[in-house]
Amino acid sequence: MPQPPQSSRKPASRWRASAYKVFYALPKVVRRRLVRIVAPTYTVGAVMMVYSPDRSQILLLRQPPGFGWGLPAGLLDRGERPEQAAIRELREETGIDLGLEAISPAAPSAVIHTRGRWVDTVFVTEVEPDSVELVIDGAEVWEAKWWPVTAMPPITVAASRLLAHYGLGPYADYPEAARVD
Which residues pair with residue 146 across a beta bridge? 59
The pTM of the full predicted model, rounded to 2 decimals, is 0.77
Residues (pLDDT < 70) of the chain are 1-12, 16, 40, 175-181
Could you tell me if 122 and 45 are in contact, meaning their C-beta atoms sit under 8 angstroms apart? Answer: no
156 phi/psi in degrees, rounded to 5: -60, 155
Give pLDDT, residue 17. Answer: 72
Residue type, 102: A
Exposure pattern of 38-54 as b/e (b: 16+ CB <10 Å)? eeeeeeebbbbbbbbee
Q: Is domain 43-178 given the CATH code 3.90.79.10 in the classification? A: yes
